[in-house]
Amino acid sequence: MASIASVSQEQLTNRRKKLRRARRMRSLQAMWRSLFVGGLASGLVWAITLPDWVIRQPEQIVIEGNHFLSAQTIRSLLPMSYPQSILRVEPEAIAKSLESQAPIAEATVTRQLLPPGLTIQVKERKPVAIAVGIAPKGAIEGTKAVQNAKISQSTSAIGLLDEQGVWMQLSNYPQLEQNQELPKLKVMGRSEHYQAYWSEVYQAVSRSPVKVFEIDWQNPTNLILKTELGNVHLGPYTSRFPDQLAVLDRMRELPTHLQSSKIAYIDLKNPDLPAIQIKKGSETEKPKPH
């Protein structure tokens, strides 16, 4: 019995020593953890207040991927004020703000600490047509174009369309105007008349062998195309639009049989029964003397 008691006492003593060592180890770990967290917090406060980590001017923002819009134009669209701490900048919020504006389809924003700045990678909307008519509601309100030209919601405006029919302000593309690189295709009419069909219409027109210069949608009951063969009346837009263009393609030899000056318009309202409207008096018109 004495031997058992002696062994048990020794085990208890060893256990107490181990517990004391464990408590000392936990105390040291807690102390080092507190020092680490405190140092990290102090370093973060120092970093935030560090004068060198500040965006002081728009030129510290690098724009990449832009072709149609100038870097200056894109910087003007940013929801930022200067000076701005680089660590207070929210890249996702800036990207979403840019994507909510018509000229930018996609944007990716990354921060750079040394030297401090931002890099913005953009994917622009490519203008494919000039739009003349009433812009979509709210598309031009509050812009410099409205203030300078005094354009109201009830007056005509000139903008640009991409392949999906998104209306964009012409003032956002000064380089296209200066370099005379504006789209050759023009669309006339209120945007609500064609916006739902624009993607289909543009794809069909861009594939047409007959060049189309203008799409007149001012009268929804009679869509008019201005083409290299002359004016073409199509009636209201329907799913047969590609068929009408196919018939127009088969009429490409028309100028060899009839002078274009005598044609008022080509009637393709019914593509199964194409017709040519002759100008009044053309039948009896005498040749002019040379």
User: What percent of the chain is predicted at pLDDT more than 90?
Assistant: 47
pLDDT of residue 232: 97
pLDDT of residue 289: 37
pLDDT of residue 36: 73
Q: Does domain 54-124 have CATH number 3.40.50.1110?
A: no
Q: Of the spans 21-30, 152-161, 198-207, which averages the highest pLDDT?
A: 198-207
- Give the angle 79-82-83 at the CA atoms, nearest 5°: 135
pLDDT of residue 51: 55
Q: Which of 180, 87, 80 is nearest to 130 (CA)?
A: 180
pLDDT category of residue 9 using cuts at 50, 70 and 90: confident
Q: Give the span between the Cα atoms of 77 and 168, in whole angstroms.
A: 14
Tokens 């807690």 correspond to: 30
Q: Give the span between the Cα atoms of 272 and 232, in whole angstroms.
A: 15
SS3 55: strand
- Contact between 191 and 136 (Cβ < 8 Å): yes
Mean pLDDT of 52-57: 85
Q: Give the span between the Cα atoms of 255 and 261, in whole angstroms.
A: 10
**In the chain, domain spans:** 54-124, 129-278
Summarize pLDDT for 126-156 with one digit per residue, the tens. 999 999 987 776 564 433 333 333 333 445 6
Pick among 1.10.630.10, 3.40.50.10240, 2.60.40.10, 3.40.50.11690: CATH of 129-278: 3.40.50.11690
pTM above 0.85, yes or no: no
**Number of DSSP helices (H) and strands (E) in the chain, helices first:** 9, 14
